[in-house]
Amino acid sequence: MTGTHGTTETAGPVPGPVPPEETEATGRADADPAAVAAVTRAVRAALPPDSVIDDHLRLRTYECDGLAHYKVIPSLVVLPETAEQVAAVVRACSEHGVPFVARGSGTGLSGGALPRADGVLIVTSRMRAVREVRREDQRAVVEPGVINLDITKATTGGGYYFAPDPSSQQICSIGGNLAENSGGAHCLKYGFTTNHVLGAEFVTPQGEIVQLGGLAPDAPGYDLLGAVVGSEGTLGVATSVTVRLVRLPEDVRTLLAGFASTDDAGAATSAIIGAGIVPAAIEMMDALAIEAAEAATHCGYPAGAGAVLVIELDGATAEVDHEFAEVERLCGEHGSFELRVAVDPAERALIWKGRKSAFAAVGRISPDYIVQDGVIPRTSLPQVLRAIADLSSSSGVRVANVFHAGDGNLHPLVLFDDAIEGAGKAAEKVSGAILDLCISSGGSITGEHGVGIDKAAYMPRMFSEDDLDTMQLVRCAFDPDNIANPGKVFPTPRLCGEVPGRHRGAHPLVEAGLAEQF
């Protein structure tokens, strides 16, 4: 069993058919040693000695992110402390055509921060200052290495918090959240990182430092920040992030409801949304996931339940009271046989403990597993869950379902034992088939984990060649030389070339007197 560390939602090994070291996407260590040496020299001149790592043993520490199956040892690791140092590293990479990958805490689940064997890994863990808490402006300005939960810790005293709460929030960084447009259990009501990032100081792949957005909304010009958030490090590196602070709600109430089946729990979910209630979170776990969570955390979920819902409501007390009564009634009407209401923070924490530890807990019932992150329209939930059950029974591969039911974001855990010949392949096939189900129901291949290296091959199933080409126009505008985290997100890099038809001054050959233009 690999890849479970505590609070992180950590994927188990994914059996890849090709050792990633040899793929186009991750580069070859021997691609251009002279260029790497030149970058190393430049970086050593610009950064303190202990910020530059090039000995093999220490480089190995950084060989993977949260998707631990993929491992690539970078040529060089740098730990800059300032935006200027990040820019100096990127400029050196740009000058010598060496790829770079930015990494925060390395908790990503799609291999977005997987290093390049021929490149530099820029680690932001020494950029951890909360520069400003501006309560009057409902904003904070933080460095990219700041831990997600630390923003909340720095602001709760003043009655505020940072809303996006990925399960890894105790260790993941805001820079990584920005790159991945991270979500979390509460994005049903509060949105994703993109809705909470208002500005960023940003180093482009040419090494320029630019300011995108800021303290005020609606910055004139193109919303480049909107394109950068969720671009998985392929457009540059954020060196400072301006985030929205959200007022803590007056009241929070959490309920656990046991159902006989996922169909019943799904129907209850639809009824709640249909009643015009927007809970802060609605999470679902099926019988297998409950079994695992129970084994791992003794969270006391209802015995014999085919599914549980964890529902949280927050807001002003009068609304929460009213909506809570509605939710209880609707759960009852849709067959909930046990309702448990958290009466204090400890009980609330226990209810969430079962849910938040579910990924890691699956290790109790299966030696290996693949985590998927597909999204479906909420109303397709019953059909898709039945189809997943059919896939599971026809293939003999067990699937545990843990997901954000409110917004249709599924996290099927496909279980297997890598020690059994062919089990990995079978699991991978089921996993892929689940993504196809998501796409055909009008959903997405990823709701919050990102495409990274893991799902790049699935992008053409969701988007046409023209769609992908259009996205890559943005990449070409930012990174014409394709050095910012190349090999991620897009299955095939677009060759950017010169901007066609753009006439700026004379053609170089004309200028050089080698040709004439008519």
Partner 1 sequence: MSAPTIDLDAARSALGSACGDVTDAGPDDAVDGVPPALVARPASTAEVAEVLRAADAAGLTVVPRGRGTKMTWGRPPERVDLVVDLSRMDAVVDHAAGDLIVEAQAGAPLAAVQETVAGAGQRFALDDPVGDSSVGGALATNLSGPGRVATGTARDLLIGVTVVRSDGVIAKAGGRVVKNVAGYDIGKLFIGSFGTLAVLTQAVFRLHPLPAARRVVTVGFDRPEEAQRLVQQVIHAQVVPGAIEVDRPAEGQGTVAVLLDGIEAGVAGRTATTLRLLGSDAREDADLPPGWGTFPWAAAAPAERQTALKATFALSGLARVLDVARTASAAAGVRLDLRGSGGAGVLYGAVSADADPGAVGSVVDRLRAECTALGGALVVLDGPPAVKAAVDTWGPVPAIDLMQRVKDRFDPERRLAPGRFVGGI
Q: In angstroms, rounded to a whole number, what is the distance separating the alpha carbons of residues 195 and 173?
A: 17
Site string for partner 1, 83-122 (x = CB under 8 A): ----------------------------------------
Size of the site for partner 1 (CB under 8 A): 96
220 near partner 1, judged by CB under 8 A? yes
Contact 362, 415 (CB under 8 A): yes
Identity of residue 234: T
Classified as helix, coil or strand, 89 is: helix
CA distance 65 to 60: 12
Q: Alpha-carbon distance 120 to 100, whole Å?
A: 5
CB of residue 448 to partner 1, shortest distance in Å:
6
Q: Which residues contact 298 (CB under 8 A, 6 or more apart)?
A: none
Question: Is residue 387 part of the contact set for partner 1 (CB under 8 A)?
Answer: no
Q: Is 37 in the site for partner 1 (CB under 8 A)?
A: no
486 binds partner 1 (CB under 8 A): no
Q: Which is nearer to partner 1, 325 or 515 (CB)?
A: 325
Whole-angstrom distance, CA of residue 427 vs CA of residue 416: 6
**Minimum distance of partner 1 from residue 501's CB (angstroms):** 4
Residue closer to partner 1 by CB (options 368, 407) is 407
Least distance to partner 1, CB of residue 503, Å: 9
Q: What span, in angstroms and rounded, lies between the C-alpha atoms of 173 and 460?
A: 30
Complex with partner 1: residue 263 or 291, whichever CB lies closer: 263
- Residue 343 phi/psi, 5-degree rounding, is -100, -15
Residue 334 main-chain phi, psi, to 5 deg: -100, 25
Q: Show the DSSP H helices in 209-338 as ranges.
A: 224-228, 262-274, 287-297, 317-333
Quote the least distance from Cβ 440 to partner 1, whole Å: 12
Copy the structure tokens of residue 149.
């939960």
CB 323 to partner 1: min, Å = 8
Which of 130, 248, 341, 387 touches partner 1 by CB under 8 A?
A: 248
Question: One symbol per residue from 197 to 216: x for binding partner 1 (CB under 8 A), - otherwise; what is it?
Answer: --x----x---x-xxx-xxx
Q: How far is the CB of 473 from partner 1 (least distance, A)?
A: 4
> Nearer to partner 1 by C-beta: 398 or 475?
475
* 205 within 8 A of 236, measured Cβ to Cβ: yes
Which residues, other chains included, contact 470 with Cβ-Cβ below 8 Å and sequence gap of 6+? none
Q: Identify the bridge partners of residue 370 per DSSP, sorted by sequence position.
A: 414
Give me the residues paired with residue 414 across strands.
370, 399
Residue 464 contacts by C-beta under 8 Å, 6 or more apart in sequence? none
Q: Which of 43, 83, 102, 229 binds partner 1 (CB under 8 A)?
A: 229
SS3 91: helix
Task: Tell me which residues in 366-385 interact with partner 1 (CB under 8 A).
Answer: 375-379
Number of C-alpha atoms within 13 angstroms, CB side, residue 429? 11
Amino acid identity for residue 22 in this structure: E
Place of tokens 């805490």: 105
Residue 137 binds partner 1, judged by CB under 8 A: yes
Closer Cβ to partner 1, 402 or 445, answer by number: 445
Residue 221 as a binder of partner 1 (CB under 8 A): the answer is: yes
Residue number with CB closer to partner 1 (178 or 307): 178
Minimum distance of partner 1 from residue 98's CB (angstroms): 22
217 interacts with partner 1 by CB under 8 A: yes
Question: Helices 262-274 & 381-395, crossing angle to 10 degrees?
Answer: 160
Q: Is there binding between residue 467 and partner 1 (CB under 8 A)?
A: yes
C-beta of 248 vs 341, nearer to partner 1: 248
Interface of this chain with partner 1, residues 438 to 457, rule: CB under 8 A: 442-451, 455
* Residue selected from 1, 341, 433, 477 as contacting partner 1 according to rule CB under 8 A: 477
261-300 footprint of partner 1 as x/- string (CB under 8 A): ---------x--xx-xxx----------------------
